[in-house]
Amino acid sequence: MTLSYPQLPFLFEDDALVALVKPPGLPTANAEPGQESIYTLLKRRWPPGAFIGVVSRLDAPVSGVVVLAKTSAAAASLAAQFRERSVEKTYLAVVEGRFPAPLDAWVDWHDLVSRQPGQPRSTLHRQPAAAAEPTRAVDEASSDEATPKPAHVRARVMRRAGEVSLVQLRPSTGRRHQLRVQLAARGCPIVGDRLYGARLPFPAGIALHATALAIEHPTTGAHMRLEADPPREWTERFPALVPRTPDPR
C-alpha cells in the first residue's frame, strides 16, 4: 500500500507500522515549540489518541526512510530489532576531501562516540585495535550520552568527482550524529554539514540520506526492505555522482 500526505511520501502503511520518506529540515520528533515534525504531522492527521511510536530517528537535516509503530506491541518489537542490531541500515553521503580508501573498497570503522549535555556536537574517540569488537553488554551499559559508546560502520566510496565523493554507509549502531562525526574525523565531512567542518553549502539540509531500511514486520515476521532515492536536489547539485533516475514510463 502506498499513500501520500503533503511533505510526507509514504512507502508503506498497515495496522502495525508506517514507513515514510523524511524530507530534509523536518525533525523526526521532539521539535522546538511551534515547529513541525514527523510526529506532530502524523498526530494531526490520525484520529485523536492514536498511538505513534518513534522507534528510530534521523537528524533534522538528514533525509530518508523512517519507520514508526502504530501499536505499543509493534513499537516494542521494532525497538528490540534496533537494539539487537538486526535492522539493516544503508545511507548515502556526498563528502568533501579524500575518502581514506580506494574506490569500491569496504572499510570498517570501530570508534567510540559521546555527547556532552547541552553541546550540539558529538565527539569521536578512536578505539585501540584490540577493542575493535566490543561486547553488546558494554555497548548498552549506560544510557548516558556523555559515556563514550561503540560506533561501528562499514563504508565505501562509490564515485568521485573533483573535490567531492559519493559514499555508501552501513552502520550497525545508531549513536547521535554517528556518521557525521565519523566521516568528519577522517577528513571528509558531509557536504553542507557546517557543524562538523564542511566548507561546501548544500541547498537541502546536509548531503546524508537514509536510502534503505530492512526490518522484520512486527506482526507477520516478514522481511521488509524499504527504499527511497535521494532527493531531487542531489541530482541537480551532483549530476556526476547521483545520475537522474530514469522515468519508468
Catalytic residues: 59
List 156's β-bridge partners, or say none: 168
Check the CA dihedral 195-198-201-206 and report its sign.
negative
CA distance linking residue 180 with residue 188, whole number of Å: 9
Type of residue at 24: P
Check the CA dihedral 54-26-15-229 and report its sign.
negative
78-97 burial by CB neighbour count: b if 16+ within 10 A, else e? Answer: bbebbeeeebebbbbbbbbb
| Strand 63-69 to 208-216 pairing | parallel
* Chain center to CA of 149: 18
Residue in 121, 124, 99 with CA at minimum distance from that of residue 111:
124
What is residue 114's DSSP assignment?
E
What would the grid cell of residue 105 be?
573498497
| Strand 53-54 to 17-22 pairing | unpaired
